[in-house]
Amino acid sequence: MSTVQNHRLVITDFLARARDMFGDKQVIDHVDGTETLRYDYRTYADRVARLASALVAAGVRPGDRVGTLAWNHHRHLELYLAVPLAGAVLHTINLRLEPDEIDYIVDHADDTMIFADPSLEHLLAAVKRRRPSMPIQLIDDGYENLIATHEPLVEPVPRAETDLAALCYTSGTTGAPKGVGYAHRSLYLHTMVAGLADGHAVSERDRALVVVPMFHANAWGVPFAALMTGADLVLPGPHPTPAAIATLIDRHRITYTGMVPTVAADLVAHARSSGLDLSSLRALVLGGSPPPAELIRALDALGVPVFQGWGMTEISPMATFARPPAAADDDLDSRIRYIRKQGRLLPGLQWRLLADDGTDAPHDGMTSGEVLIRGPWVATEYFRDPHPEAFVDGWLRTGDIGVIDDHGYLEIVDRAKDLIKSGGEWISSVALESALLSSPGVVDAAVVAAPHPRWQERPVAYLVGDGIDLDKVRAHLTGSVPRWWMPERFVIVDALPRTSVGKLDKRSLRGRAVEDLADDTALSDPPTSRS
């Protein structure tokens, strides 16, 4: 029998820790790169406790879902802990969705009330029609009045560590958005892992810039990690541009931030043209898609260490971290190879590779399979909509196809739904995109499958870049990928469609590819895999 205390793990403990141990650390707000507010963690804790008291007085009860429709700013950060402090469940709503999509999510979550930025109130038009009596509190002077007129909540509303603390919905790229409910315990453990030296390593020495939207899987958990460890938090406000991000990094000597590779590429371009200094960063974490090697080189030349994280909403979202091994410290090419992989599994999680025949694929760096994951911050089902096909024998089916080498580094080779089957052989859209991104003049690329009358499916490539010479692109691919992988058609576009969280929207591209391929008067016969 254990002789240690069975103390519950609840994220509301982060509030007292931030106040009592890191009371002088700062929360700094911005709009368009201009500082608009600065206060310390003691002030933050007081405002959170007053807001929680206001929620209880308004009739919010334990387990109620409270929605937020807001940008990255201090008031949204206050709601991050005020809602669970009141015993309720924080539901961050994706502000890039259409009003009807937001209405669906709010109805599915059965939100009790919503806090919304005034500039986003129009997105709640459908919600108001469906639920005319549901309170919608604008995050304005009325919000400030709630804080000013209530005394701080003395103690958090009691909750078990297995009770829900937060709720996020997937971006719905393969159907209706699905909810993932995070328990206090799961978020607590996820937050602790964010501080590990071989992970994101968030600590009291950091000044973290939260670029990832706070509606997206709790901004990768960074706000909670900063509050727990005492890192300063810099919040960029609405519509942070690469120019504003570069200015904030330079001005505040930011040490940690994360973003998708497309934003990082624009950040590099602006830093080069403006001369702004990004070298204070000890970690720029990229997620959403593998970063091109040239982007990593460009950031390294600016003095910025780059890492990649991989995960998903169903994993809270952190699963792996691509920190190169110590042996690669003095070899940039070697570091790049490791950074472009998805990295090692974070402690507390387990994984396996499920082969097509249902057996476990070996971790030999060559044999691929679907990545299955389990652990204390991994979903077991979706909120109010189980979808048992996504979960098998206690494992989450990620839908990602990958290989794992004998040192435990994962490399995603494709999404299961994005693999292209041509003439009975598989083509990896991710590997083909990687080869295209290293082609002359190509700055962005996406590859999707289009139906083919003979070969079942063939790849169609969409490219972004100025002055792309397709003959040079084809010549580059000839030496980089199997001949039969050569795209059936290349389409140059101004920009690639992306989802609300910055990922490639391949669903819309697949629809376009059918039309683009049908426009061709002749369909070429690709070489077989044996030629």
For residues 246 and 268, the answer to whether their CB atoms sit within 8 Å is no
Catalytic residue among 173, 425, 426, 499: 426
3-state secondary structure 271-299: HHHHCCCCCCCCEEEECCCCCCHHHHHHH
- DSSP of 116-153: E-GGGGGGGHHHHHH-TTS-EEESSHHHHHHHHTSPPP
3-state secondary structure 321-378: EECCCHHHCCCHHHHHHHHCCCEEECCCCEEEEECCCCCECCCCCCCCEEEEEECCCC
For residues 107 and 169, the answer to whether their CB atoms sit within 8 Å is no
For residues 268 and 298, the answer to whether their CB atoms sit within 8 Å is yes
Residue type, 74: H
Phi/psi for 263 (5° steps) reads -70, -40
Residue 500 gets which letter from DSSP?
T
- DSSP of 32-76: TTEEEEEEEHHHHHHHHHHHHHHHHHTT--TT-EEEEE--SSHHH
- Distance CA(493)–CA(505), nearest Å, equals 14
Catalytic residue among 68, 92, 112, 170: 170
- Give the list of residues 6+ apart from residue 513 with CB closer than 8 angstroms, or none: 448, 449, 450, 460
Residue type, 155: E
- DSSP of 227-267: HHHT-EEEE--SS--HHHHHHHHHHHT--EEEE-HHHHHHH
Catalytic residue among 34, 144, 367, 421: 421
- Give the list of residues 6+ apart from residue 230 with CB closer than 8 angstroms, or none: 17, 18, 21, 22, 25, 41, 203, 204
Residue 178 falls in the annotated catalytic set: no
- Distance CA(155)–CA(227), nearest Å, equals 18
- Distance CA(373)–CA(383), nearest Å, equals 18
DSSP three-state, residue 26: strand
Residue 112 falls in the annotated catalytic set: no
- Distance CA(160)–CA(318), nearest Å, equals 23
For residues 115 and 68, the answer to whether their CB atoms sit within 8 Å is yes
Catalytic residue among 314, 370, 411, 433: 314
Residue for token digits 């406000």? 237
Phi-psi region of 32 (alpha: psi -120 to 50; beta: other; left: phi over 0): left
Residue for token digits 């942070």? 240
Residue 417 falls in the annotated catalytic set: no
For residues 434 and 289, the answer to whether their CB atoms sit within 8 Å is no
Q: Which two tokens stand for residue 78?
A: 């206050």
Residue 71 falls in the annotated catalytic set: no
Q: Which residues are catalytic?
A: 170, 314, 421, 426
